[in-house]
């Protein structure tokens, strides 16, 4: 009898240990379209504060959205941290993201979506980068729409048709003007025989080397070349990329040109994050989102990735244009409409850009 009691006690203890030890629900899972150099550093800072293990799954926004839709209610993800508002819009349309409380969404001062299903985290701006040894800024057009008319740049223009930020720009062009205007601009740009690059970093390096004269890109790629900083967008296996990254070159003959105020060539693009509807750790997910809007996280993104904070008053490096000035240059556009990407991809294929 005594032996049976002992065995019963041991079995009870084992079952108890199995029931409360190592549960996945004690781990916050983030699906991130943002890069490892940015995310890993911030996650480490968060873990030190929250005393909670965090696991990150990396992929492009499209890859992660596909995974979330396939996993459905069984997804292990608690947070979706996206590189584009279009991806976040798609997540909302597929009812993947939970509604967020106003005390969270109200912390950001700009670009908060009306649906309150995600929070903005950082802002990037479209610019025209140019080689200052070959081009004078006064010779550049006032509008990005006029760039296609600049015959002096035939064979000397760089662009990234397969890259998400360029596709966001074309989507905004198509929606704010007309599909015909967007098609005409792309066709005329094709007539300039532009050089296509798989991503912005090699394009800006080519600009520095004098292989091209101008390039449509995001502001932080120029700052990264001249002042250092990590990549913000996940681009695949990044292990080797960081080893190959050259030292900052402040004297590099690459500068940023801003089109006239309100021109689409200065478009603001936003990254953001939301809590998954299927997560049973909504409180933990919201705490991480709160952290992303903290001064520590916002300042880190500004100093390490050269992206603009969405919380007013967060300092940026001296070499960055003040945030309010950059915002004034950008046109007003409903960024949630960037989810309307399929017609853009079809258009890019039709004109031979993809």
Would you state the pLDDT for residue 234? 61
* pLDDT greater than 90 at residue 11: no
Q: Which residue has the tokens 């008319």?
A: 149
Lowest-pLDDT range, 8-12, 141-145, 192-196, 287-291? Answer: 8-12
Q: What is the mean pLDDT of the chain?
A: 89
CATH architecture assignment, domain 28-122+269-320: 3-Layer(aba) Sandwich (3.40)
Record the tokens describing residue 259, joined without a space.
Answer: 């089109």
* pLDDT greater than 80 at residue 20: no
**Are residues 202 and 186 in contact, defined by beta-carbon separation less than 8 angstroms?**
no
| Mean pLDDT of the region 30-58 | 92
Would you state the pLDDT for residue 51? 85
pLDDT level of residue 235 (50, 70, 90 thresholds): low
Spell out the CATH class of 124-267+331-350: alpha beta
Q: Do domains 28-122+269-320 and 124-267+331-350 have the same CATH topology?
A: yes
Per the rule left: phi > 0, alpha: psi between -120 and 50, beta: everything else, 71 is alpha
- Integer Cα distance of 232 and 306 in angstroms: 9
Would you state the pLDDT for residue 236? 60
pLDDT tens track for 293-324: 999 999 999 999 999 999 999 999 999 999 99
- Integer Cα distance of 39 and 339 in angstroms: 24
- Of residues 18 and 310, more confidently modeled: 310
In the chain, domain spans: 28-122+269-320, 124-267+331-350
pLDDT tens track for 89-136: 999 999 999 999 999 999 998 999 999 999 999 999 999 999 999 999
- Integer Cα distance of 154 and 144 in angstroms: 16
pLDDT tens track for 197-225: 998 999 999 999 999 999 999 999 999 99
Residues 6 or more apart whose CB falls under 8 angstroms from that of 347 comprise 170, 174, 179, 182, 183, 186
Record the tokens describing residue 74, joined without a space.
Answer: 């069984």
Would you state the pLDDT for residue 151? 97
**Are residues 36 and 9 in contact, defined by beta-carbon separation less than 8 angstroms?**
no
């Amino acid at each position: 009898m005594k032996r049976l009691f002992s065995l019963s006690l041991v079995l009870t203890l084992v079952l108890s240990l199995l029931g409360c030890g190592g549960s996945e629900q004690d781990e916050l899972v983030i699906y991130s379209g943002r890069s490892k150099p940015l995310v890993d550093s911030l996650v480490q800072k968060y873990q030190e504060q929250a005393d909670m293990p965090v696991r990150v799954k990396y992929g492009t926004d499209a890859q992660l959205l596909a995974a979330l839709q396939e996993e459905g209610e069984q997804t292990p993800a608690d947070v979706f941290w996206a590189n584009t508002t279009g991806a976040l819009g798609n997540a909302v349309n597929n009812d993947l993201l939970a509604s967020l409380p106003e005390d969270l969404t109200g912390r950001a001062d700009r670009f908060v979506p009306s649906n309150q299903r995600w929070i903005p985290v950082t802002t990037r701006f479209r610019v025209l980068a140019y080689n200052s040894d070959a081009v004078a800024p006064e010779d550049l057009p006032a509008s990005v729409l006029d760039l296609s008319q600049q015959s002096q740049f035939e064979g000397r223009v760089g662009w990234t048709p397969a890259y998400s930020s360029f596709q966001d720009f074309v989507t905004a062009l198509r929606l704010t003007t007309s599909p015909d205007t967007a098609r005409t601009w792309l066709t005329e740009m094709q007539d300039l025989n532009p050089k296509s690059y798989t991503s912005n970093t090699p394009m800006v390096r080519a600009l520095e080397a004098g292989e091209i004269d101008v390039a449509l890109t995001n502001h932080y790629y120029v700052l990264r070349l001249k002042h250092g900083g990590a990549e913000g967008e996940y681009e695949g296996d990044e292990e080797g990329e960081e080893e190959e990254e050259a030292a900052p070159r402040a004297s590099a003959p690459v500068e940023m040109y801003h089109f006239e105020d309100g021109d689409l060539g200065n478009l603001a693009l936003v990254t953001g994050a939301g809590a998954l509807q299927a997560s049973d750790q909504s409180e933990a997910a919201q705490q991480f989102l709160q952290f992303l809007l903290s001064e520590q996280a916002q300042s880190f993104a500004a100093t390490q990735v050269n992206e603009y904070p969405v919380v007013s008053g967060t300092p940026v490096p001296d070499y960055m244009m003040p945030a309010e000035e950059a915002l004034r240059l950008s046109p007003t556009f409903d960024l949630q409409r960037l989810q309307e990407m399929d017609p853009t991809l079809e258009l890019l294929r039709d004109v031979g850009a993809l």
